[in-house]
Structure 1
Amino acid sequence: MTTRSRLPFYIAVLLLITAGISLAVWRHIELGIPWLTGEQRPIWMVEARVDFDATSGPVLASLNIPEQPPGFQILSEQAASPGYGFSIIEKSGSRRAEWTKREASGPQTLYFKAQFVPDSDARTARASRPPAARQTFWEEPQATAVREILDQAKERSSTPESMTRELIRLMQPDTRTQNTILLVADENYLRLLVDMLNHAGIPARTADGLKLEDARRRQALTSFLQIHNGERWLTFDPKTARQGVPENLLLWRQGSSSLLDVVGGDNSAVSFSMLRQTVPALQLATMRSDTNGLGFLSFYELPIEEQSMFRMLLLLPLGALMVAFMRIVIGIRTSGTFMPVLIAVAFVQTTLLPGLIAFLSVVAIGLLMRGYLSSLNLLLVSRISALIILVIFITAGLSIIGYQMGFNTGMTVTFFPMVIIAWTIERMSILWEEEGAHEVFVQGTGSLFVAICAYLVMDAPLARHLTFNFPELHLVILGLILLMGQYTGYKLSELKRFTPMKVYD
């Protein structure tokens, strides 16, 4: 094959390898599946507690809950409220948890729990169209004071963000003028900012955030200011004018809807407790795959029985790659082309030492029985058929003996492929007759050596993790095998023929 004719082949191999790696990276990014085993991810368990006194009648309690807080993804939600009906509804553009009960009296306590996963890429969903600034009206002399303060902020700004920062600075105690003193009171400061920004044509609203600290109880929400710059909502600290959501701040409520409404109760209050936990990254990715719409691309959607089957089948390409490398590059001779892969699969099931003992025992006893069958001058088909039956009896006997002796792993000897072992015994017997015992020993030890190498690769926890969770990486293995199929150079085991030349030189 000329160099020009090989070009399409190399391009195809390159595309295979590129596709495999690209799909694996995409799966890692989109589904969050980790590259390594044992990785841990933090999650926050937040519990909202609602307390009120029921007034001996129907009760309807409604709590504002997060929809898509920036910097976090909602993993799960649940309520603990014995005797109450519970549902999550969409109302006036916000999500609310509602508890209902036909009749209740006395102190009542309701719980809402949610798990949040930190995600720096999570952003609040954009509205279909930008919101409009709310109309506000002022009476004199407040109207004049508002107009003068807004004029000062406009002169020092050029965007909605910069104007918001300048307005917050003008409203601080150390920079207040006569106009701001006329307007500002501690109890109406944040509401005043929202009204003034809306009056200036900038859509503004309040937001309540929860500072996440491990093992904290009975925490209250902190108020923040949000404006819309025409593209998305931006968050500001109303005291420092700092833009952006602080680290470990969960925006629980965003918008003008109330935090808690209770019909049929008095003295209502809500408090929050939180706990930081860690879970395996793979478990978290599996849980999240059901919510991000990409779960159908995962083997975890299959029944457990089929998952177990694919966990084993997806290890076979690694064994095939090892056999191809050992035979083509190293030059180790084996009995059969891919018999070592099947032996390695059996070793994965039985573990190495019990599997090795069982395999050697079955082959040794089978060779003795094959010698007797050859003396009967049977046809090939009859001889192989009889050998299969004998191999089944041998493995069954070894399993029973192993079990009686207390070796539970002996029960897994039956995993060995009976037909393949029968053919192996037949091939070794013919090889013994034609080439002698030395060749049988060479190919037999070569098969076991390659099988053990394949087993070590296939049984590695990282290999099990990558092959099952990133099946597209098998395209990379396919590309490497195709490349090795083009290798026509010396095998490493053949280099010993040039040793005399080295000594002579």
Structure 2
Amino acid sequence: MIASRTQVALIVGLLLLLGLGLTLYKTTMLGFPLLPGEYRDVWTIESKISFQPKDEPLTVELELPQGLAGWTIIEEHFASSGFGFSVRDSDGHRKARWTREGLDRPTTLYYKIQTYRAAQASLPDRRPRPVRPPRLEPDQLAAMDRLVAMLRERSAGIETFTELMIQEINRKTLDQDVEFLLGTYQADRVTIMLDILASAGIAAQRVRGIALEDGRRRQTISSLIEVHNGSDWTLYHPETAATGLPPDFFVWERGDEAILTVVGGQGSSLEFALLRNTLPAKTVMAMEHRTREYALVDFSIYALPVEQQGVFKTLLLIPVGALVVVFLRLFVGIPTSGTFMPVLIALAFIETTLLVGLLLFIILVGVGLWIRSWLSRLNLLLVARVSTVVIVVVLLMAVFALGSYKLGLDQALTVTFFPTIILAWTIERMSILWEEDGPHEVLIQGGGSLLVAVLAYLVMTTRVVEHLTFNFPELLISLLAVIILIGRYTGYRLSELYRFRDLAKPK
């Protein structure tokens, strides 16, 4: 027993020293802040260029962002293995160029930046280019002229003309001329809007960028319309006609320059993976210098591709939820259905928000228990019974997803994140528990699981916890030591003290 205690003490001590030591090193030497302060939302944007090469020399050019509208680019990285690579400036535009003599397989190139918005600034003023009427077929030109005349009659200036035009093109019931133009144009709606403005003699251009959404993958370029009213430029959203630059819109290119050009390839596509990380302002200002000076940062979570960073941002919260479960099970004595199912439920709550997640979980388990009770009459074997419940749970998720989409409840669309197999086994366990111990025990264990899941969710979504787990993942080593130490506890739980409270009363 003494040897066992000594061994546990040594292991716990080493794990604590290792985790805290690495954290101290990153705090003192690398400048990573331990406690929250003045923060900046730093966005990691990873561009993925995919294409199918032809049997000829290959040239790929990507227009690079310039940090417009208050956005500051901290770092940028290029993946160009096996390619000739260069960055050149041309007429105020920065372009990355990949070249290769030949290639016989589909290829993906990467360009990654880290950026934050230092100030809410507008786009710099510049002189508009001369307006050139679009080249159209005679029937298109006639429809365009009628549409422009109608908009001019209803508007009181360039601003109202633009707003009315956007509303007309996005109406559910389209005007005949608008419907004809939309049906005959071989372009997107923004191009049609720019041609309408050009036909009216109004200077306008396209502003392309990325609508930032944390954890989003396969994001594509979005467009805004910038209109010159004779003295200033005004930005318009092409669907809502809202003016101004949205706060979550990263400007990539202003004008009509092609963002991606592939010569010697076909089927090219440009997609983006996005990840937001909240960092102290002091750390943001020193990131570029620190990355060059200390190689250890290259082995941190930041060195991973953006999609993997987004995955680990959630995975690193699981040990925190496990600690909450261990504490509540061993010290408080809250019963749960399954040991760590509450952690998985808490992860689902992170995706769906707490109230929506609770409602979906209760409905799914309730309907699943009802179906499971019906299946028990068929005397199925265990494997077939659980498989049937899994299929039912998947169908229920699909029904909820479709229903929530029709009702406009976007949060419920993330119901598919629920661990399907865990839910199926939970329904199976609760059903057996119902048959053996009655509904009272099912309510106790089910309620205990939800209570622990909610508490784990509240801890895991704390800003300090999210910051520490992502920036100091080595703290999980110390967390492991704490769990090992708690695992040695064999005393009474709080629920047992309450249960046997009558024994402590004097006779």
* TM-score, normalised with respect to structure 2: 0.52
Instruction: Tell me if 1:39 matches 2:41.
Output: no
Task: State the alpha-carbon separation in 2 of the partners of residues 497 and 379 from structure 1.
Answer: 38
**1:175-196 deviations in whole A, cap 9, x for unaligned?**
xxxxxxxxxxxxxxxxxxxxxx
User: Residue type matched to 1:19 in 2?
Assistant: L
| Residue of 412, 415, 419 corresponding to 2:414 | 412
User: Residue type matched to 1:457 in 2?
Assistant: V
- Name the count of aligned residue pairs: 276
**Structure 1 residue 82: Cα displacement:** 9.6
| Residue of 375, 381, 394 corresponding to 2:377 | 375
Task: State the alpha-carbon separation in 2 of the partners of residues 340 and 39 from structure 1.
Answer: 33
Structure 2 unpaired stretches of 5+: 41-73, 76-88, 93-278
- Aligned equivalent of 2:398: 396
| Residue of 498, 501, 507 corresponding to 1:499 | 501
- Aligned equivalent of 2:28: 29
Moved more, 387-396 or 494-503: 494-503
User: Residue type matched to 2:9 in 1?
Assistant: Y
- Contact 1:328–1:491 (8 Å) recurs in 2: yes
Task: State the alpha-carbon separation in 2 of the partners of residues 415 and 437 from structure 1.
Answer: 28
Instruction: Tell me if 1:435 matches 2:434.
Output: no
| Residue of 351, 367, 370 corresponding to 1:349 | 351
SS in 1 for 2:384: helix
**Structure 1 residue 319: Cα displacement:** 0.5
CA spacing shift, 1:38–1:437, aligned 2, 3 Å: same
- Aligned equivalent of 1:358: 360
**1:146-169 deviations in whole A, cap 9, x for unaligned?**
xxxxxxxxxxxxxxxxxxxxxxxx
Task: State the alpha-carbon separation in 2 of the partners of residues 466 and 454 from structure 1.
Answer: 16
- Aligned equivalent of 1:313: 315
User: Residue type matched to 1:310 in 2?
Assistant: F
Task: State the alpha-carbon separation in 2 of the partners of residues 40 and 379 from structure 1.
Answer: 56
Task: State the alpha-carbon separation in 2 of the partners of residues 341 and 492 from structure 1.
Answer: 22
**Structure 1 residue 291: Cα displacement:** 1.4
Aligned CA-pair RMSD = 2.5
Task: State the alpha-carbon separation in 1 of the partners of residues 368 and 425 from structure 2.
Answer: 11
SS in 2 for 1:464: helix
| Residue of 442, 445, 451 corresponding to 2:453 | 451
Task: State the alpha-carbon separation in 1 of the partners of residues 481 and 381 from structure 2.
Answer: 42
Alignment of 1:135-214 (within 5 A): none
CA spacing shift, 1:437–1:340, aligned 2, 3 Å: same
- Contact 1:27–1:33 (8 Å) recurs in 2: yes
Task: State the alpha-carbon separation in 2 of the partners of residues 369 and 18 from structure 1.
Answer: 52
- Aligned equivalent of 2:292: 291
- Aligned equivalent of 2:184: none
- Aligned equivalent of 1:18: 17
Task: State the alpha-carbon separation in 2 of the partners of residues 369 and 481 from structure 1.
Answer: 38
**Structure 1 residue 482: Cα displacement:** 0.5
SS in 1 for 2:29: helix
**Structure 1 residue 396: Cα displacement:** 1.1
User: Residue type matched to 1:339 in 2?
Assistant: M
SS in 1 for 2:375: helix
User: Residue type matched to 1:288 in 2?
Assistant: H
- Contact 2:337–2:445 (8 Å) recurs in 1: yes
SS in 1 for 2:337: coil
**Structure 1 residue 83: Cα displacement:** 9.2
Task: State the alpha-carbon separation in 2 of the partners of residues 359 and 386 from structure 1.
Answer: 18
Task: State the alpha-carbon separation in 2 of the partners of residues 500 and 27 from structure 1.
Answer: 52
**Structure 1 residue 399: Cα displacement:** 1.5
**1:257-291 deviations in whole A, cap 9, x for unaligned?**
xxxxxxxxxxxxxxxxxxxxx97234335433421
- Contact 1:33–1:281 (8 Å) recurs in 2: no
CA spacing shift, 1:352–1:12, aligned 2, 3 Å: same
Task: State the alpha-carbon separation in 2 of the partners of residues 284 and 380 from structure 1.
Answer: 59
CA spacing shift, 1:285–1:341, aligned 2, 3 Å: farther
- Contact 1:31–1:285 (8 Å) recurs in 2: no
User: Residue type matched to 2:416 in 1?
Assistant: T
Task: State the alpha-carbon separation in 1 of the partners of residues 91 and 407 from structure 2.
Answer: 58
- Aligned equivalent of 1:467: 469
Task: State the alpha-carbon separation in 2 of the partners of residues 404 and 358 from structure 1.
Answer: 16
- Contact 1:347–1:355 (8 Å) recurs in 2: yes
- Contact 2:30–2:294 (8 Å) recurs in 1: no
Structure 1 unpaired stretches of 5+: 42-74, 85-277
Task: State the alpha-carbon separation in 1 of the partners of residues 287 and 362 from structure 2.
Answer: 41
Q: % of aligned pairs identical?
A: 48
**Structure 1 residue 24: Cα displacement:** 0.4
Task: State the alpha-carbon separation in 2 of the partners of residues 287 and 452 from structure 1.
Answer: 39
Task: State the alpha-carbon separation in 1 of the partners of residues 317 and 91 from structure 2.
Answer: 51
| Residue of 328, 331, 351 corresponding to 2:330 | 328
**1:281-319 deviations in whole A, cap 9, x for unaligned?**
343354334211322122112111110000000000001
Task: State the alpha-carbon separation in 2 of the partners of residues 448 and 83 from structure 1.
Answer: 60
- Contact 1:38–1:281 (8 Å) recurs in 2: no
SS in 2 for 1:504: coil
- Aligned equivalent of 1:217: none
Task: State the alpha-carbon separation in 1 of the partners of residues 481 and 495 from structure 2.
Answer: 24
- Aligned equivalent of 1:110: none
Task: State the alpha-carbon separation in 2 of the partners of residues 299 and 306 from structure 1.
Answer: 9
Task: State the alpha-carbon separation in 2 of the partners of residues 385 and 82 from structure 1.
Answer: 61
- Aligned equivalent of 1:479: 481
User: Residue type matched to 1:284 in 2?
Assistant: M
- Aligned equivalent of 1:280: 281
User: Residue type matched to 2:31 in 1?
Assistant: G
- Aligned equivalent of 1:208: none
Task: State the alpha-carbon separation in 1 of the partners of residues 451 and 417 from structure 2.
Answer: 20
**1:181-231 deviations in whole A, cap 9, x for unaligned?**
xxxxxxxxxxxxxxxxxxxxxxxxxxxxxxxxxxxxxxxxxxxxxxxxxxx
- Aligned equivalent of 1:5: 4
CA spacing shift, 1:504–1:371, aligned 2, 3 Å: same
- Contact 1:286–1:300 (8 Å) recurs in 2: no
